[in-house]
Structure 1
Amino acid sequence: MSVSNEPLLRELRVLELGHFIAAPFCTRVLADLGADVIKVEPPGGDPVRGWGMQANGQSIWWSVHGRNKRCVTLDVRKPEGREIVLDLVKRCDVVVENFRPGQLEKWGLGPDQLAEARPGIVLVRISGYGQTGPDAHKSGFGVIGEAKGGLRYLGGYPKNVTDLPPPRAGVSLGDSVAGLYGAVGALAAVLDQRSTGAKEARVIDVALGEAVLSLLEGALPEYGLTGKIREPMGSAINTAAPTNAYPCKDGTWLLIAANSDPLFAALCRVMGKPGLADDPRFKDNRGRVEHMAELDAIIAEWTRTLTPREALEQLEAANIPATKIYTIADVASDQQFRARHMV
């Protein structure tokens, strides 16, 4: 069977009326899949052009943020800019924006105007709180969505460990997750429009906080049914063990996820403690979670005698999921990332 090397979304054209992260992330995903993305930037350019480290006077981050896109500078607040946008819309399947709700309408670029220019247009709207509800008017960034959606709390330190605030992830998870939902929604809406021939605008309404909330597994129904709030666990989780970060002798950290009975038994053999799997405290997951601190101390005692490479040779030979916690330098040199052209 022959496989085409043509980009999957080669027949999709997208107009980006976005800035900062969420909407540009959404369109970047579509562009990477072959969509023709036209990015509208304000006079002076997207703010991200000036963010982060610079090389040759250019933002390095921008090379990721703006890749595979065609860019045009327009002042959409002016009538002539609005008319050019509507003319571009006539040739597009999707419009993606992440302004505060109501801003497009103020510019005369709301769903009705877009659908008049291009019947059946798909409009992806990414905002802090969504297009409706009592908080819709509020501004929000990814970090606000992460806090509002509960992730920042869960990513904090266990109680009584420190009085430091819950740390942020180091990247804009809220924006990126919302952008992914926007891309999925756009493709679903395009499929529907092409199958039905609908002429009205299809609006995909994505809220940063809701996108993050969707990642919280069973935390919400757990609270609804039991009244219990899932608490921060640091580098562990309160549902399975052992799955944690353990110190190595070179000061780096090794993540081991041996949280099933067969994997735990294999880990015990690797550590030279096969009898540990039959210890009444650790013989099943419930017991291992209950005695997590004792178990983690035993595993850490073993990992402290080894470098990550030495530990991983033994763990991988036993098919136990494990990895060193990577820095970006580790990522850049990783053979798997390189083999799959991620780096």
Structure 2
Amino acid sequence: MYKLLKGMRIVEAASFIAAPSCGLHLLQLGAEVVRIDQIGGGPDFFRWPRAAGASLYWEGLNKGKKSIAVDLGSPQGRELVTSLIAAPGPDRGMFLTNFPAAGFLSYERLKAKRDDLIVLRVMGRPDGTTAVDYTVNSAIGIPQMTGPVSMGDEPVNHVLPAWDLLAGAYAAFTLLAAERHRRDTGQGQEIRVPLSDVAMASLGHLGQIAETAITGADRPRYGNELFGAFGRDFVTRDGKRIMIVAITQRQWSGLVEVLGIGEAVERAEEAAGVSFARDEGVRFEHRETLNPLVAAAIAGRNQGELTAALDAAGGCWGPYRTLSQALSEDPDLSEANPVFAKVQHPSGPAYLTPGSAASFSGQERDLPGRSPVLGEHTDEVLVDILGLSETEIGALHDRKIVAGPETQN
């Protein structure tokens, strides 16, 4: 965590990945994030993976945030929530949510309580209909490009919720842009970030929409081949599988030098009338010629010897490991990396927890915060933000409008 956004307060009422990850990014840059939770937990409060009944998923996305538990179905609970969102102050009045655009958290209703309010709404689709990462991904053709060439037309889903993660990061900087606009003009606004738009725009940025529109054909599967350049998995003499990529001219020349296949590559270039060094796309087009040369040379070298030589020559490679192997072998996935620290969360024992992935020169990085207990900060938030008295807060607890960490039901 850093302090670059110190003094900024974000109120968050959100679940799943995209919107909570947006709040997490802002928090790790120094903002205060007050998370509004339904008493007993929202729809993602028990999501897998879990330990001792607690969701490690929920802990990971909400670490460092403050949690206030409210009965969102009651008029009094909703009034409390809207008052928190619209609380006065120059660094206040910013609301992050994935709740529906209509209803008590609509922009129009909230704006009536604070005219310069900024609402950031993460959505499935721009028309407000439901979508999640996996349904968006299936609808734009990614599963038809994923997997072995032999799969035919059967789709292959991937396990990483890429559009959720990208949308969360994209949403974070759009909120900062809106906050800067408000400082300059005094005007608030609603920002809408639909997952489907993030996904489709990303394919457009990568040239894939243009590719299909111009050629009239869908990109086929290439298995583990890197599309448009040289890259694939290979097996070393000692049975280690590594991924090797040669996108730049230096990466390619380094690979050729280390493997000692320069003469064979020159003969292949002469036969085809091309230069593999100058154009990464040519390497991809002639992969059926180049792959056997590279594979045979790698099969004669042990991994340690090969990768040390690649590092010295400016090559690009990566090992294939399970996550448990990476945890035991990779110093970047340990407390040796200042991104990580062992933190004890409500689920029980301390475990490796990431803070901000960025580093800022001259800025000290604090340890990652722990995840809150549901409703842990209810009373604190009601006092600090709304200025309620102990008697007023006690009455809200008695009527089960709010709940603390010990009174969930």
Query: What TM-score results when the alignment is normalised by the length of structure 2?
Result: 0.73
1:98 is displaced (CA, Å) by 1.3
Paired letter, 2:163: G
Q: In structure 1, which of residues 332, 336, 341 is the aligned counterpart of residue 338 of structure 2?
A: 341
Structure 2 CA distance for partners of 1:334 and 1:214, relative to 1, 3 Å: farther
Is 1:239 matched up with 2:236? no
Gaps of 5+ in 1: 131-135
The amino acid of 1:224's aligned partner reads A
How far apart are the structure 2 equivalents of 1:204 and 1:149?
24
Is it true that 1:12 corresponds to 2:8 in the alignment?
yes
1:308–1:324 contact (8 Å) kept in structure 2: no
Distance 1:125 1:153, change over 3 A: farther
Instruction: Map Cα deviations across residues 61-93 of structure 1 (whole Å, 9 max, x no partner).
Output: 222111110111123232111101111012333
Residue 302 of structure 1: aligned partner: 297
CA contact (8 A) 2:2 2:28 kept: no
Taking the aligned partners of 1:43 and 1:268, their CA distance within structure 2 comes to 61
- When Rg is computed on C-alpha atoms for both structures, the one with the higher figure is 2
**Unaligned ranges ≥5, structure 2:** 341-409
Structure-1 separation of matches of 2:222 and 2:199: 18
Alignment equivalent of 2:257, drawn from 261, 269, 289: 269
Instruction: Give the secondary-structure state (helix, strand or coil) at the position aligned to 2:191.
Output: strand
Equivalent position of 1:133 in the other structure: none
Answering whether residue 196 of structure 2 is matched by residue 209 of structure 1, we say yes
| Matched-pair contact (CA < 8 Å) for 2:46–2:53 | no
Say if 1:137 and 1:111 are closer, same or farther in 2 by CA, change over 3 A.
Answer: closer
2:2/2:29 contact within 8 Å kept: no
Hey, what does 1:94 align to over in structure 2? 94
- Check conservation: 1:256, 1:322, Cα contact below 8 A: yes
Q: Does 1:66 align with 2:53?
A: no
Distance 1:58 1:307 in 2: 43
CA contact (8 A) 2:265 2:290 kept: no
Q: Give the Cα separation in 2 of the matches to 1:13 and 1:150.
A: 39
Matched-pair contact (CA < 8 Å) for 1:152–1:168: yes
1:285-308 CA distances to partner (integer Å, 9 max, x unpaired)? 344222212312222223334444
Match of 2:306 in 1: 311
C-alpha distance in structure 2 between counterparts of 1:299 and 1:56, whole Å: 48
Question: Which one-letter code corresponds to 2:306 in the other structure?
Answer: A
Q: Deviations over 1:175-223 (max 9, x none)?
A: 111111111111111111111111xx41111111221223320011223
Q: Does 1:80 align with 2:76?
A: yes
Rounded to whole Å, the distance in 1 between the matches of 2:339 and 2:75 is 43
In the aligned structure 2, how far is the partner of 1:308 from the partner of 1:62? 39
Of the structure 1 ranges 173-182 and 55-64, higher mean CA displacement relative to structure 2 is found in 55-64
Distance 1:89 1:82 in 2: 11
- Paired residues, number: 325
Residues 250 and 315 of structure 2 are in contact (CA less than 8 Å); yes or no, is this contact kept in structure 1? no
CA distance in 1, matches of 2:108, 2:59: 34
Partner of 1:190: 179
SS at match of 1:246: strand
* TM superposition shift of 1:111: 0.7
Q: CA deviation at 1:252?
A: 4.3
Residue by residue over 1:241-291, the C-alpha shift from the partner in whole angstroms, topping out at 9 and shown as x without a partner, is x21222234554311111333432221121121213423146323442222
Instruction: State the alpha-carbon separation in 1 of the partners of residues 94 and 154 from structure 2.
Output: 40
Mark the CA change 1:210 to 1:304 in structure 2 (over 3 Å): closer, same or farther: farther
AA paired with 2:315? I
Would the aligned equivalents of 1:149 and 1:210 in 2 still touch at CA under 8 Å? no
Aligned alpha-carbon RMSD (Å): 2.3
Structure-1-length-normalised TM-score: 0.86
1:180 maps onto 2:175 in alignment: no
CA contact (8 A) 2:250 2:314 kept: no
**C-alpha distance in 1 between matches for 2:2 and 2:15:** 29
